[in-house]
Structure 1
Amino acid sequence: METIRLNNMQFHSHIGVLPEERVVGQDIQIDVEMKTNFKQLVTSDDVKDTLNYGLVFDEVAEVVANSRDELIETLGAKIIATIKRHHGEQLDRLIVRIRKLGLPIDGILANVEIELEG
């Protein structure tokens, strides 16, 4: 089994429960972990024989850009659905982690993170 990870993809989003989160927006980080069985990886050097992570990045970026959800859990579910729609036949396991940075919480907190598996 091969693992491909896209780590700390950074986006500015307009998701959140509070009005200021939806208007001003905030920075988020997203990790995508994809496990797949690629027998060709040891014999081929062609991108068509693997899961093209450049396409996955573009798909995640598009979902974030179009999202106005309140919950990062909903955003995560949309990201999973999009990746599975385009690459599902190549995936054995898919994990998405989303971190909200700079939270409007009165206290010291680096971020909040959710993890979804699909």
Structure 2
Amino acid sequence: MSKIYLEDVKIYAYHGVLPEENSIGTYYILNAELHTDLWKAAESDDLNDTISYADINDILHQEMKIKSKLLEHVAGRIISKIHERFPQIDYIKLTITKTAPPMQGEMKGASIELEKGFKPEL
């Protein structure tokens, strides 16, 4: 099993149910875990034999630009886009943390996590 991680990707975006969340915005922290076979790249040292984490990062940034009420919706879109672009990925886990949720009390953030496995094509 081989894995690619993007850790603590910080993106400013405008998601939420409340109108002020869509106009003021806040920082979000994204963590992605991708399972795929990396052994060909380990042998070849060729970017074409792996998944570019720069491309994954671009997908995260592009999808975070699209306003949504629910982080679950954003995460679902990101997972779908990643798998559409890289069908060789077997499993994706994505965590999105809203760093300043509009709730009482002091907290580091509020997070959702979605994970999805993909069956290999036969």
The CA deviation at 1:32 is: 1.0
Aligned length in residues: 116
Aligned residue for 1:95?
93
Listed as ranges, the gaps of 5+ residues in structure 1 are none
Q: TM-score, normalised by structure 1?
A: 0.94
Per-residue Cα deviation, 1:25-52 (whole angstroms, up to 9, x for no partner): 1110111110112331331101111111
Aligned residue for 1:73?
72
SS of equivalent to 1:43: helix
Aligned residue for 2:112?
114
Query: What RMSD, in angstroms, separates the aligned Cα atoms of the two structures?
Result: 1.0
Q: How does 1:23-62 map to 2 (within 5 A)?
A: 23-62=23-62
The CA deviation at 1:23 is: 0.5
Aligned equivalents of 1:39, 1:15: Cα separation in 2: 38
Listed as ranges, the gaps of 5+ residues in structure 2 are 117-122
Moved over 6 A (4+): none
